Structure 1
Amino acid sequence: MTTDLTEVAAGKPTWSKLTIDASNFLVEMPQSRGALTLLPLIDREWTEEEKLELIDAFGHKKRTGLVKSGVKSVLTAFEGDRTQADVIWLCRILDLCFSHFSQRNDKKKERHIVKCDAIATLVRITRKRIILTVDCQEESGIDWQLDEILYKLLYEIGLKDSRLSLKVRMGGLIGVLCKFFVRKVGPLPEKFLPFFIKISRSPRNGQAIGRQEGFMQTLMAKIKALDHSDQTSQILLLDKHLQILFFTLKNSAGRTRNQLLRENLCKYMLELLRRHLAASSNSRPTRLLSSLFGTFDKSVSAAHTEVVIGTIAILRLLSNFKKAREELKTLQVLEICSRELKEFWSDEWKSGAKAKIVDSLSALCLRCMSPIPYPLETRRFPIDFPLPISPSPGGPNGRVRNSSSINASFDNGRSSDEDGIDEEDEAFNRDDDEGKDGEMSDDEDGKEDGESEGEGTSLSKCTRLTAQQLSKYAPFFAENEQGTLQPTYSMLYQKDAETWRTSCKNTQSVMPIHHHLPLEMFAIPTQIRERTAKTTNNMKKMIIEEMDKPERSATNQVIYDLDKAAFDGLPGPEVPFPTSGAKLDTSKDLQFDSRFESGNLRMVVQVAPTHYELFLSPDVNQLRDHYQWFFFQVSNMRKSVRYTFEIVNCLKSSSMYSQGMQPVMFSMMETSNGWRRVGENVCYFRNLYVNEIEEKLNAEDKHKKVHYYSIRFSVMFQHTGDICYIAYHYPYTYSFLTSSISLMRKKKLESIYCREDVIGHSLNGNAIKMLTITTPASAAEIAARDVIVLSARVHPGETNASWIMHGVLENLLSRQSNEMHRLRERFVFKIVPMLNPDGVINGSHRCSLAGIDLNRVWRRPNEQLHPEIYAVKAIIQFLCDVTGKKPFAYVDLHGHSKKWDYFVYGNNAAESWRPDDVTEAQVEEDSHLALPRALEQTCPGRFNASECRFNITKDKESSARVNVWRQFGVNTSYTLESTFCGFHKGQNAGFQINTSDLKDIGRDLLHSFLEMH
């Protein structure tokens, strides 16, 4: 077969003989041997020039001058009855191209190979090869070089394919991989185990692996064979086998687990732990940890360390099951671990594997202690709110419930920053590529492999208002008809304090309000730089304290109970400023309250003289529990006494509180200092509380574990008789927003047009406000300006979003810089600063009074149940349908509880769960990068581009950023996420974030719009 070179004569590039022969080879049928002349080329190294040409010819789309070119041609050529040499040749081409793009970090070209479904092709080839070779008696005919390159490609391309686990399972590869693992004699291909570990993380794949005949027995036999080796390579191989054991054990059926327990798995794993802790000594010393980190070969030490970390993770996993937990206690796991921890009380291990082992041993101790029944499991929360209509069961509105049990709702019940990784899983998150690119981000919290709602790719219908329905929103766009030359605000202003009191008085709450918060709590900026707290040995200290405590009493004193005190008395006066030497109430120790705006403390139990356990209130009417935000008042303290506070009903499996984040505190005796980060020995851990009722209900589903987590910290107050407020993050209430808008509009520059509209009311009658900001101009000039839509605080617990929005408003209304003037001249801003006022007012973490996450109803908001989203979506539709302007950008502000810095999530059709989106993706694929690129230019010291994600999962179709993109075609639709903790880059690295930083992020965002324009 000859190559048509007519285009070469027309001035197209001339390809070398190697490339032309390769192209011809791709055309030939497998049965044809006309390409045998190519085979000697397989065994030689290609020159750099040849490599670049082969990449150009076969790593992209089709190229002119070649009969066959591009990735699709290479993948198609795999099909059929190819010889081993043929497949090696094709694999080398594919590996050359993908490795080149990976080294250059060319994600676009990587995605192209993924979109061509390279994984599906490799899965078919690998399955066929294993079936043909695993029972082969004569191994001389098997070229093991092919296995090496096949698993290398499966692993490396699989890291970028978010549907790897699904494709492996649907391709029928799991069973044959297990058979290969069981029957393979000699070493496995280098990338086989990393690839196998990756696919075993999937719950369904883990279940399938555990069911394979002989697999678990072979796995345990290999672990025991590797156990006593002192070679670094063999110890690292043992670590990989332990990872497979962990994921298969986690996901396997109870029968498999019980069989391993009968074979003394607990005893063996405990012995394995002791051996590798004592790996540096020929005999077992008493000081195991010091022997592990002694002065010997560092590579061997590091290998043993990985085994120790993995072994503890498996022991922690086993401790989740009652039978295994009792066996571990019989084997004296508590005594072994606590002796290790106490032995090295003074050893200050700063970070890394040493600190990780100490924390893991501490957590293992905690897991093996006797569980405690959750005290509120049978008590119904007394505060609810009658909804205007009854939601349809099973519909998008779900079933209204008001309890504190864990139950999934239509939105999977997760927060936007919850990644679903268990504590034990984190021990194996060691691959630098894990979780990037093709993997789901924390924002994309759907179920594995897009299977959350079935395998279909159809979309439910979006609501769209009629012209008549939209007409009532016309007054909110008066500038289009009248221009902005006339002043809009001429009323007389009262004093600031009166404005604040009026705002508090007009705020409608469902939760009881006993007193209003002082304005100073919000008006005083926090500018002090505070470093992230030390987390060294915090878990160890906590465990030792717990083990040294006397047995917990069943009659622990209840200090505060909202269920009983909720409606006692009338709203009280403003909180007085305490004076030094205030008289203490000697009948109790500390006193607590949260009957104020955004407060959410339900019960406080005193478990030791200075140790208090705090239970948070649920979101009103919640369909699923969301506990994270806390805000409470504490008083009657004594100076220099160390008090321990423990928030005991958190639900997330990890938190920035374990990485140096501290709560914030406002002292009424030190108001000039504003909010400060406080707390020593801060740690986050799974506690002993168990919801026994839910555990029984979920007994048949081992994936529904009902555990609670604690945020624990100690505080030494500086003043006796002070009144202090402690919160998860800097509070920002609805009352403060309304008074701030009044004050900012009063002080705004005369050259600025600002109109305040009420576009709707929440379920409890609180105004949903929208600000229109630009410069005075005629209607014609306004028509020429782009419109930017900003929103914030759809999730009440994400107070950092409000502080960012505060920075946006301050800069737009008061700042006299050239940048701000240009912004106001070029854009009309439509700003909804608080999307969920009811949730904010009532101290909720996630939900509105409808009991659901409002960021999951954008596709079909109900005017009566979700008036907030209904109104804002109508504003965007009015812009698109009536004024004929798509928003220049839409940005929804959020907070992220598990990451540093700030970053954005956007929408890239090429990374969508829907094949139609990928096929129909526009040529201009980079439009979704407009905002992150601008932020990189305007604030490289704070913005973290590496955390940005642009994938679209099915679970997020009803979120703001995805719906505005999909329904209204706004490519520049984003979620901006800010850390609660602090910074990992730039001049602020190592410091916790404060309100001044958050307001600066608002300024950064505004500057980025100029860069985009």
Structure 2
Amino acid sequence: MPDEDTKQTWCQLVVNTSNFLAEQPQSRAADAILPSINRAWTEEEKHELIEAFGHKKRTNLAKSGIKCLLLGFEGDRTQADVIFLCRLLDLIFTHFSNDNDRKKEKYVVKADAIATLCRITRKRVFLTVDVTDEPAIDPYLDELLWKLMHSIGLKDSRVNLKVRMGGLVTPMCKLFVRKDELPEAFLPFFIKASRSPRNGQAIGRHEGFMQRLMAKIKMLDPSDQTPQVLLLDKHLQLLFFTLKNKRTRTHLLRENICKYLLEVLRRHLAASSNSRPTRLLSSLFGTFDKSLSAAHTEVVIGTIAILRLLSNFKKAREELKNLQVLEICSRELKEFWSDEWKTGPKARIVDSLSALCLRCMSPLPYPLETRRFPVDFPLPTATPSTPGGHGRVRNSSSINISFDNGRSSDEDNMDEEDEAFVRDDDEDGKEGGASDDDEGKDDEETNGALPKTTRLNPQQLAKYAPFFVENEQGTLQPTFSMMYQTNQETWRTTCEKTRHVMPIHHHLPIEMFNTPTRVREKTAKTTNNMKKMIIEELDKPERSTNNQVIFDLDTAAFDGLPGPELPFPSANVKLDTSKDLQFDSRFESGNLRMVVQVAPTHYELFLSPDVNQLRDHYQWFFFQVSNMRKSVKYTFEVVNCLKTSSLYSQGMQPVMYSMMEAANGWRRTGENVCYFRNLYINENEEKKNLEEQKKKKYYYSIRFNVTFQNTGDICYIAYHYPYTYSFLNSSLCLLRKRKQEGVYCREDVIGHSLAGNPIKMLTITTPASAADIANREVIVLSARVHPGETNASWIMQGILENLLCRQSNEMYRLRETFVFKIIPMINPDGVINGSHRCSLAGIDLNRVWDRPNEALHPEIFACKAIIQYLCEVVNKKPYVYVDIHGHSKKWDYFVYGNNAADSWRADDLVDVLGTGQLEEEQHLALPRALEVTCAGRFNASECRFNVARAKESSARVNVWRQFGVATSYTLESTFCGFHKGQNSGYQINTSDLKEIGRDLLHSFLEMNKN
């Protein structure tokens, strides 16, 4: 492609198209286009059409660029005109999609192609529905329009909102009700639009829609032709999303929808398994149609998802039980769905049938729903003069509450049943892709006002000057202030200096953290775990209401017990035969509130909430178990998790540390691990508004079996490899002692947490004069803002070990080239007290970076001040800022960055093909470097660069937007393992996590090459 448009020789088709767009509709310029409407375009013509109309306006053309092309649709265009414009738009978008040119693809989306197509399609649908002269309608145009709507809609995160605001919902319903023959792409797009709860409700309420839908389903159901069965699957998807409307659901329940769906399920179950006797003969003689079986399988999965949705409601659940759904599912699981189905849709059927059984069992009241958690922390009051102050902490972050309700970065807001209908080409539920969460009023406009942010004034910033003394004094003088003070501390002394709110009964052994986990452990088998669990549950007698409470933190928390060191168990330890297993979590980072014994070897575990939490966060667990017997299979079930899915259902295992086998360190443990929605329901939550009053809270279980190897052992079991605040302090002391000659390391306390724990920052570089330091770029790294993401601390441990203690050319160059400012643990209080996501303020600290409150969020207040001082006083933007996190639903590790062209706010869109091209490319600097330095572990396909409004108050987005740091990232690491490279199929361990830290450091050198 030439550098200047003036050198471009445009073909005649491009010139005619430009003239056509420059003239008014129905002008004579259209005559020049007519011959090209139905003919095939040459490759040269295609190339020049894409270059002329695919992105920016081009010089030497009267009209060009994607915006001009979309504007050409407006007005009273003939069918032939619209066909030509659709062909051109389809050519452009398909080309960018096939070439994986995300930048230009997004440019088309940002130009609001969907809104334009919605207007054209709306007119077209009314014409199609009401026309009496069929030959006057060109079906080719309808196919083109719906194809474009679907393909572009897959890439537009706001497509459902645009469909609703463009008035297209009602016309689509009319088309579905009145026409037998529909364009091929209509149903996929209609289904996508119905995913939005508001759209789905509107569709279900449309007059005659449900009757027409059920008539089509009943007509397609008996067919054994693959296209018809696939069409049935699409109609079942529509049924699922429209059934979320209460009025629609009530009407269909009166029409015996449950009975009919069970009949559909039985018919297609029989047709989907080629192991059935009726299919055996055709399978042996090679006449079995695998594509037909796959189509029946999709119908089965969809039907079960609908039945699971219905079973959430008491009337439907009772009807299903009367129809013997438990017996049907149990018989299917035991007789036909054998262990041969390892993965894929067949395995999904087994898990879905198991989940349906659970849904149809009688729900149980959540036993802690009315009990107040006894551990509290009195919060300070924010004064109005304090930046970010809004009074009490429970109202301190309006962004946290109104924008994303405190949601985690790895929560996709997708119902468990919805996942049955997510296809490979569907962006729903993916980070940065389209989702159903388009319903908030804050999303109604794409160029709304930015949230308010705060900055410290020069006087406030002055107190942070001591943390940058290297800029005035250099780093030639060694730092002794902290080293001699801490070297003499014992592990016990370090632990006792840690300030906690949760009760501490004993201190953890230091060996628990110092023993490396180098053993490679494969991901666990998940085949039929759900099936085994549900059959076991169905065969059990009815649950007793007098189950024994084995451990209750509410009563044990402040029982006055002293905190002695835990005795080391020995082989001749005596069991307490009066009790079964014994539990405890009264140690640093422990999290266990109650244990109930529901069977002789089956224990249900209830996790403690985050202190003062505004929104429930249950995921991290860490507890001690003792008094076990060798070779007995115990079942542990953590019953109050909240996320709808987890890597525990994909091969992840908890970790365990045995005191009798301490030399082995932490190991993955647990057999038959599964994750599922259990029977507990919380109906007594504090109601904030009318909508929430209609919702129940469901809980999910992590269930696994453990067979201990030693009688009388003391074992610790955790969600992931623990890393405590006390260990951080001990580790920093040891690393400073072991550090290489010629390494400058200064440890500063930049602030204190709410409980008074020091927030530490390390400055690492090589000894140099102030003039040399002035020439070095600064890299800022932080971790552990979310306490439950312990993998972030192990990555940070790898960073520190390499920077301070590793003798290699790469590390020498890094220290010579950069000054590192490292905040290894942002949220010490949350870590110490066993929280999953919050500080003692009870909120997600990664949602207050826009307006941190010095009294309520001192951790973020100090961290943000460090970056502001660097930018505004030192006059150096960070070369790169990385905030390290863990992701509970994805594999490998990857980054999230900020691309202005992919922002919720239209004003952020830079001219990526002109003067802004350099800035647009900067957000790719780190991922490109990571692809070079560690392609075997880094997963570039999981990286996302969208800027969502809900994340404006996060570290990544705020550092980018408020301080202009284009290379601001969140690094996300899996809790589970790897899906690529030589590590594929293995679970991650602490050695892997440390290597990720080393990978990250190497990537900074790679970035510096360019």
TM (normalized to structure 1)? 0.95
Question: For 1:516, which of 507, 526, 540 is the aligned residue?
Answer: 507
Q: What does residue 343 of structure 1 align with?
A: 335
Task: Verify the 8 A CA contact 1:630 1:728 in the aligned structure 2.
Answer: yes
1:481 matches 2:481? no
1:831-887, CA deviations, whole angstroms, 9 ceiling, x for partnerless residues? 000000000000000000000000000000000000000001000010011110001
Q: Which residue, 770, 783, 787 being the options, matches 2:774? A: 783
- Report the CA distance between 1:28 and its aligned residue: 2.1
1:497-576 alignment runs, 5 A limit: 498-576=489-567
Structure 1 stretches of 5 or more lacking a match?
1-6
The one-letter amino acid paired with 1:266 is C
In the alignment, the residues of structure 2 paired with residue 575 and residue 475 of structure 1 have an alpha-carbon distance, to the nearest angstrom, of 41
Asked if 1:613 is matched to 2:604, the reply is yes
1:749 to 726, 740, 747: 740
Structure 2 CA distance for aligned equivalents of residues 228 and 304 of structure 1: 11
1:388 Cα offset (Å) = 1.5
Aligned to 1:677: 668
Contact 1:483/1:779 (8 A) holds in 2: yes
Mapped to 2, the partners of 1:486 and 1:681 lie a distance apart of 57
Alignment of 1:422 with 2:415, yes or no, is: yes
Partner of 1:193: 187
Is the 2:904–2:949 contact (alpha carbons within 8 Å) kept by the matching residues of 1?
yes
Alignment correspondent of 1:4: none
**How many angstroms does 1:36 deviate by?**
2.4
CA 1:754 to 1:371, structure 2 compared with 1: closer, same or farther past 3 Å? same
User: Given that residues 522 and 987 in structure 2 are in contact (C-alpha distance below 8 angstroms), is that contact kept between their aligned partners in structure 1?
Assistant: yes
Report Cα offsets for 1:58-90 as digits up to 9, x if no partner: 223222332222212221111111111110011
SS at match of 1:570: coil
**Residue identity opposite 1:416 in structure 2:** S
Change (3 A) 1:286 1:345: closer
1:56 aligns with 2:47: no
Residues 902-946 of structure 1 show CA distances to partners (whole Å, capped at 9, x for unaligned) of: 000000111111111115773321110110000001000000000
The whole-number CA distance in structure 1 between the counterparts of 2:230 and 2:134 is 28
For the Cα contact (< 8 Å) 1:279–1:291, is it kept in 2? no
Matched AA of 2:359:
R
In 2 relative to 1, CA 492–809 (structure 1 residues): closer, same or farther, beyond 3 Å? closer
Match of 1:939 among 926, 929, 934: 934
Q: 2:869 corresponds to which residue?
A: 878
Task: Tell me, in whole angstroms, the C-alpha distance in 1 between the residues paired with 2:772 and 2:273.
Answer: 81
In the alignment, residue 426 of structure 1 is paired with which amino acid? Answer: E
Note the C-alpha offset of 1:698: 7.8
Report the counterpart of residue 831 of structure 1 in structure 2: 822
Counterpart Cα distance in 1 of 2:268 and 2:4: 68
Give yes or no for contact 1:131–1:176 (8 Å, CA) kept in 2: yes
**SS of structure 1 residue aligned to 2:604:** strand
Give the CA deviation at 1:200.
1.0
Q: Which amino acid in the other structure matches residue 709 of structure 1?
A: Y
SS at 1:823's partner residue? helix
Answer with 666-675 or 15-24: which moved more: 15-24
Structure 1 residues 699 and 227: CA distance shift in structure 2, 3 A: farther
Counterpart residue identity of residue 202, structure 1? S
* Separation in 1, partners of 2:6, 2:886: 55
Q: Does 1:998 align with 2:993?
A: yes
Question: 2-side partners of 1:265 and 1:702: how far apart?
Answer: 26
Matched, 1:232 2:232: no
Distance 1:410 1:391 in 2: 24
Which AA in structure 2 matches 1:940?
A
Q: Give the corresponding residue for 2:137.
A: 142
* Equivalent position amino acid for 1:607 in 2: V
TM-score by length of 2: 0.95
Residue 318 of structure 1 pairs with residue 310 of structure 2: yes
- 1:860 has 2:851 as partner: yes
Paired amino acid for 1:423? E
Q: What's 2:463 paired with?
A: 472
Q: Does 1:735 align with 2:730?
A: no
2:16 matched to which residue of 1? 21
Cα 1:563–1:10, aligned 2, differ >3 Å: closer, same or farther? Answer: closer
Deviates more, 1:448-457 or 1:717-726: 448-457
Q: Distance in 1 between matches of 2:301 and 2:4?
A: 63
Q: Which residue of the partner structure matches residue 3 of structure 1? A: none
Q: Is the contact made by 1:787 and 1:889 (CA closer than 8 Å) also made in structure 2?
A: yes
SS of the equivalent of 2:889 reads: coil
Q: 1:18 to 1:325 in 2, by over 3 A?
A: same
CA 1:453–1:562 in 2, change beyond 3 Å: closer, same or farther?
A: farther
Call closer, same or farther: CA 1:292–1:160 in 2, change over 3 Å: farther
Q: How does 1:390-401 map to 2 (within 5 A)?
A: none
Q: Deviations over 1:804-827 (max 9, x none)?
A: 000000000001110100000111
Aligned equivalent of 1:162, options 147, 157, 161: 157
Q: Distance in 2 between matches of 1:489 and 1:772?
A: 14
1:1001 to partner: Cα distance: 0.4
Q: 1:244 aligns with which of 238, 241, 251?
A: 238
Equivalent position SS for 2:704: strand
The answer for the alignment partner of 2:948 in structure 1 is 953
Contact 2:893 / 2:971 at 8 angstroms: preserved in 1? yes
Give the counterpart letter for 2:184 in structure 1: E
Give the Å deviation of 1:8: 15
Asked whether 1:887 is paired with 2:881, we answer: no
Counterpart CA distance in 2 for 1:708 and 1:67 is 61
Give the corresponding residue for 2:751: 760
In the TM superposition, residue 702 of structure 1 has moved relative to its aligned partner by 8.1
**Aligned residue type for 1:531:** K
User: SS at the partner of 1:210?
Assistant: helix
Instruction: Report the counterpart of residue 274 of structure 1 in structure 2.
Output: 266
**209, 214, 219: which is aligned to 1:215?**
209
Asked if residue 12 in structure 1 is aligned to residue 7 in structure 2, the reply is yes
Q: Measure how far apart 1:493 and its partner are.
A: 5.3
Residues 398 and 623 in structure 1, CA contact (< 8 A), matched pair in contact too: no
User: How much has 1:236 moved relative to structure 2?
Assistant: 0.4
Contact 1:900 1:983 (C-alpha < 8 Å) held by counterparts: yes
| Distance in 2 (alpha carbons) for counterparts of 1:150 and 1:867 | 54
**Is 1:1007–2:1002 an aligned residue pair?**
yes
Does the aligned pair in 1 maintain the 2:382–2:390 contact within 8 Å? Answer: no
Aligned-residue CA RMSD (Å) = 2.5
> Counterpart of 1:79?
74
Quickly say closer, same or farther: Cα 1:662–1:281, change in 2 above 3 A. Answer: closer
- When residues 496 and 362 of structure 1 are mapped into structure 2, their CA distance, relative to the original with a 3 A threshold, is farther
> For the residues of structure 2 that align with 1:791 and 1:13, how far apart are their CA atoms?
49
What is the identity, as a one-letter code, of the residue corresponding to 2:199?
Answer: N
- The percentage of aligned residue pairs carrying the same residue is 77
**What SS is found at the alignment partner of 1:974?**
strand
Does the CA contact (< 8 Å) of 1:396 and 1:410 recur in 2?
A: no
- List gaps (5 residues or longer) in structure 2: none
Offset, 1:542: 0.4
State which drifts further: 156-165 or 974-983: 156-165
